[in-house]
């Protein structure tokens, strides 16, 4: 990539403060900026780097008022964090080429329907009656079962397994070794102390613009569908159990586990290693701090919860102060 500062400002809808002809050819963190690089500044604790950074340009918020001279050209935008995400997306899209490719060692069943300019890597398998939309990339060693439906502009990274009958929307990204549609963890106890497997006959529906991290698993339902609504972002090593519904634009960090038949609201945020019990409902805009354990319904929107069992964060901090006193 190579852009002038004024071109980047135009892409981002920002303004240039400094040299509009400055040439940028790479990205860098603000701590390690170098000539030719563009960085961004959004977190106040990194402000000192703004004055020390050797980068050619820095993306900053419109509200930023420097207390010292800034050697780099500044590109002012409404939201620097969102702007750099948009710029990275723009550059990646410019680099991405769409071309039809069939690995010589892949296998596509004759009844599968493959869209335009679909990439299929070596050792990938696409089952009977599967449908793959236009411009989707299916990398090496991916398994796509019978009757799977995958939308357009998706990216399916190496080692992903999609069980038969699953439904994937448009612009979905599935990272390496994610599993969509494994059986849920359902077993019935018998009188002799053994466990009888409960068959899962449903499927998983992944809606548009969802991203699921490496080694994460979304289990299919016993009946009906497990649903991940549009815009959700799921980190690595997460588990979404059978019959769960995850609301639109919810995000969950690594090692989060959602037990069966739970309904997660829209725009929820879950920190790392969060655990949510089964048959629970979480209201919209719920925030769960890392390692929170939820064992009951969250009925009020906008709550911030911590601890196990999870309680409102202010109550948690007051309780923690008492724990420390009790331990002395």
Residues noted as catalytic = 242
The number of angstroms, rounded, from the C-alpha of 184 to the middle of its chain's C-alpha atoms is: 22
Burial zone of 191 (CB within 10 Å; 0-12 exposed, 13-18 middle, 19+ buried)? exposed
φ and ψ at 324, to 5 degrees? Answer: -65, -40
Q: Report the alpha-carbon distance of residue 97 to residue 103 in Å, rounded.
A: 17
Q: Which residues pair with 132 in a beta bridge?
A: 114, 150
Which sign does the torsion angle of CA 45, 48, 52, 53 carry? Answer: positive
Nearest CA-CA partner of 262 in 254, 250, 272: 250
φ and ψ at 112, to 5 degrees? Answer: -70, 150
Is the CB of residue 231 less than 8 Å from the CB of residue 194?
Answer: no
Q: Report the alpha-carbon distance of residue 82 to residue 7 in Å, rounded.
A: 17
Strand order in the sheet with 113-114: 113-114, 131-132, 149-150, 167-168, 203-206, 225-228, 245-246, 263-264, 281-282
Burial zone of 268 (CB within 10 Å; 0-12 exposed, 13-18 middle, 19+ buried)? buried
């Amino acid at each position: 990539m190579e852009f002038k500062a004024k071109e980047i400002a135009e892409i981002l809808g920002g303004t240039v403060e400094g040299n509009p002809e400055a040439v940028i050819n790479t990205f860098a963190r603000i701590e390690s900026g170098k000539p030719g690089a563009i960085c961004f500044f959004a977190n106040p604790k990194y402000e000192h780097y703004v004055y020390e950074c050797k980068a050619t340009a820095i993306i900053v918020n419109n509200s930023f008022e420097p207390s010292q001279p800034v050697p780099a050209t500044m590109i002012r935008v409404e939201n620097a964090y969102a702007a750099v995400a948009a710029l990275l997306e723009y550059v990646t899209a410019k680099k991405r080429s769409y071309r039809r490719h069939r690995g010589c060692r892949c296998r596509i069943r004759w009844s599968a329907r493959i869209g335009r300019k679909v990439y299929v890597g070596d050792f990938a398998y696409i089952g009977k009656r599967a449908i793959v939309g236009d411009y989707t990339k299916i990398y090496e060693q991916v398994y796509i079962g019978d009757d799977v439906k995958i939308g357009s502009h998706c990216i399916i990274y190496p080692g992903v397994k999609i069980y038969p009958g699953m439904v994937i929307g448009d612009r979905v990204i599935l990272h390496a070794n994610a599993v969509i549609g494994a059986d849920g963890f359902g077993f019935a106890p018998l009188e002799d102390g053994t466990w009888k497997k409960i068959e899962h006959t449903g499927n998983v529906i992944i809606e548009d613009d969802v991203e699921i991290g490496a080694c994460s698993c979304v289990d299919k339902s016993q009946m009906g569908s497990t649903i991940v609504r549009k815009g959700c972002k799921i980190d690595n090593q997460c588990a979404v159990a059978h019959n769960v519904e995850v609301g639109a634009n919810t995000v969950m960090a690594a090692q989060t586990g959602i037990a069966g038949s739970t309904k997660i609201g829209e725009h929820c945020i879950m920190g790392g290693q969060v655990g949510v019990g089964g048959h629970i409902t979480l209201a919209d805009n719920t925030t769960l701090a890392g390692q929170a354990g939820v064992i009951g319904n969250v009925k009020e929107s906008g709550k911030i919860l911590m601890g196990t069992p999870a309680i409102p964060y202010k109550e948690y901090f007051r309780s923690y102060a008492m724990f420390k006193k009790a331990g002395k």
